[in-house]
């Protein structure tokens, strides 16, 4: 099953500046304006490597920059192979929570091996971008976020005990999330943690593109004859592993904005929806609370926002999904996003899977106010507001060997980039 390994992490030295000024969120949620702001704060920030934008060939520039920073002593690898414990402390809806996981190298396995399991479809454009960056830099600047079951309590209590002392890093990001890192150097502790993962499966929560890129990069090195040693670092991917039943795990919904549909008729759409859903108009201000009620009682509900009005759609008969998706598991069929995509987007609006993947008529956002504003400003035909996917649903779908539609989950907070990195070449 899962094979984890310690490594000497690549980290910023004090010569580069304060760590809080050097890290950044994941590249795919950073706008061009935000990128410039990060660069203005500290020109040695990880954003220059993780989201390159300079030069005629930004990927080559990133590789040259990385090598330059290594030569200048702005970056250096830890001398001892270690595991790293990483905690994020955050506030959501006035309540403070935390998530603590283990950063390590994990042996790359094809999804077909059933060791590392995806839960979400990926987009080819992002994988091409990440592959080009990895070829140019030979480095993981950010880790894959994965979950594991620990029903025997063999791992998480040990992680808690090891991280009882003072952390190696302790800083707070721009969004108020506090980040703490501990270094585990004791070979005995490392060995016991590695042994505890030997019977575990890992479920990717966030970072599908990065994992698939690492598989492609490994194959690339094999094809070019650069990878002949089974112990080569390219056989592994840096991951942050979090207990599946961790009380701090927080998943936000990702809402859908429908735009640029010709001859869109909301009245007709509601009439067609009435064949499958019980429809209840409601004020936009109470959509979230209405959906949360259904979420708590396992009712399948979502909201349609149009022309300044909202309607809660509650699926009348879940059996319809068995008819429409006979080859899929019950876990997949009963996902809110499966119901939305299959029954409404595809069947009623004619937005097929290729259209969704290319985002021709669909935009994604985790901010329901942004989704509604797009409609109010005439930039969209309508918006669908969703409940968050449950962590148990993610495990059930991945365990069935299936993938959810893209953008089905948004784990919060995102793992920071640049605090701990994995140098492969």
- The per-residue pLDDT for range 329-370, each reduced to its tens digit, is 999 999 999 999 999 999 999 999 889 888 899 999 999 999
Give the separation between CA 109 and CA 254, rounded to whole angstroms. 29
Give the separation between CA 385 and CA 256, rounded to whole angstroms. 7
Cα of 31 vs its chain's centroid, Å:
17
Confidence at residue 122, expressed as pLDDT on a 0 to 100 scale: 67
Look up the pTM and report it. Answer: 0.90
Confidence at residue 24, expressed as pLDDT on a 0 to 100 scale: 96
- 56 Cβ contact partners less than 8 Å away, ≥ 6 residues apart: none
Tokens of 126: 């992002």
Give the separation between CA 77 and CA 7, rounded to whole angstroms. 9
- 368 Cβ contact partners less than 8 Å away, ≥ 6 residues apart: 253, 255, 287, 288, 383, 385
Does the pLDDT of residue 97 top 80, yes or no?
yes
Confidence at residue 123, expressed as pLDDT on a 0 to 100 scale: 66
Give the separation between CA 237 and CA 213, rounded to whole angstroms. 10
β-strands 309-315, 277-282 pairing: antiparallel
CA within 13 Å, CB half, 196: 21
pLDDT, tens digit, 9 for 90 and up, residues 240-289? 999 998 889 999 999 999 999 999 999 999 999 999 999 999 988 889 88
How is the chain split into domains, by residue range? 4-250+412-423, 254-387
Does the pLDDT of residue 112 top 70, yes or no?
yes
Closest to 276 measured CA to CA, from 362, 372, 196, 348: 348
pLDDT, tens digit, 9 for 90 and up, residues 22-45? 999 999 889 999 999 999 999 999
Confidence at residue 277, expressed as pLDDT on a 0 to 100 scale: 97
Q: Which fold has domain 254-387?
A: 3.30.1760
pLDDT, tens digit, 9 for 90 and up, residues 314-331? 999 999 999 999 999 999
């Amino acid at each position: 099953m899962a094979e984890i390994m310690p490594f000497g992490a690549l980290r910023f030295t004090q010569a580069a500046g304060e760590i809080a000024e050097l890290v950044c969120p994941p590249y795919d949620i950073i706008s061009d304006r935000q990128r410039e702001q990060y660069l203005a704060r500290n020109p040695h920030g990880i954003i220059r490597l993780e989201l390159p934008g300079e030069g005629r060939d930004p990927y080559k520039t990133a590789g040259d920059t990385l090598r330059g920073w290594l030569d200048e002593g702005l970056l250096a690898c830890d001398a001892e192979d270690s595991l790293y414990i990483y905690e994020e402390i955050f506030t959501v809806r006035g309540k403070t929570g935390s998530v603590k996981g283990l950063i390590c190298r994990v042996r790359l396995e094809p999804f077909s091996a059933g060791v590392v399991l995806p839960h979400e479809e990926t987009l080819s454009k992002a994988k091409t971008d990440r592959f080009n960056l990895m070829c140019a830099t030979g480095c993981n600047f950010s880790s894959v976020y994965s979950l594991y079951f620990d029903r025997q309590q063999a791992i998480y209590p040990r992680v808690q005990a090891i991280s009882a002392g003072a952390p190696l890093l302790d800083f707070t990001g721009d969004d108020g999330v506090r980040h703490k890192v501990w270094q585990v150097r004791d070979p005995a502790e490392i060995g016991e943690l590695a042994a505890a993962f030997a019977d575990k499966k890992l479920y990717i929560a966030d970072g599908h593109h990065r994992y698939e890129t690492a598989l492609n990069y490994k194959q690339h090195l094999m094809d070019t004859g650069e990878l002949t040693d089974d112990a080569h670092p390219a056989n592994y991917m840096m991951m942050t592993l979090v207990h599946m039943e961790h009380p701090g795990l927080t998943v936000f919904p990702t809402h859908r904005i429908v735009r640029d549909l010709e001859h869109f008729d909301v009245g007709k759409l509601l009439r067609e929806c009435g064949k499958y859903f019980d429809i209840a108009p409601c004020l936009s201000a109470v959509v979230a609370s209405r959906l949360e009620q259904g979420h708590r009682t396992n009712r399948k509900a979502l909201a349609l926002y149009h022309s300044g009005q909202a309607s809660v759609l509650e699926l009348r008969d879940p059996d319809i999904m068995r008819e429409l998706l006979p080859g899929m598991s019950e876990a997949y069929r009963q996902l809110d996003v499966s119901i939305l995509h299959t029954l409404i987007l595809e069947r009623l609006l004619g937005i097929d899977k290729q259209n969704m993947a290319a985002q021709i008529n669909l935009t994604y956002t985790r901010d329901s106010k942004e989704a509604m504003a797009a409609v109010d400003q005439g930039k969209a035909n309508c918006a669908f507001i969703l409940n968050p996917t449950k962590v148990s649903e993610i495990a059930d779908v991945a365990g069935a060997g299936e993938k959810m539609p893209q953008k089905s989950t948004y784990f919060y907070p995102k793992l920071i980039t640049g605090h701990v990195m994995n140098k492969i070449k």
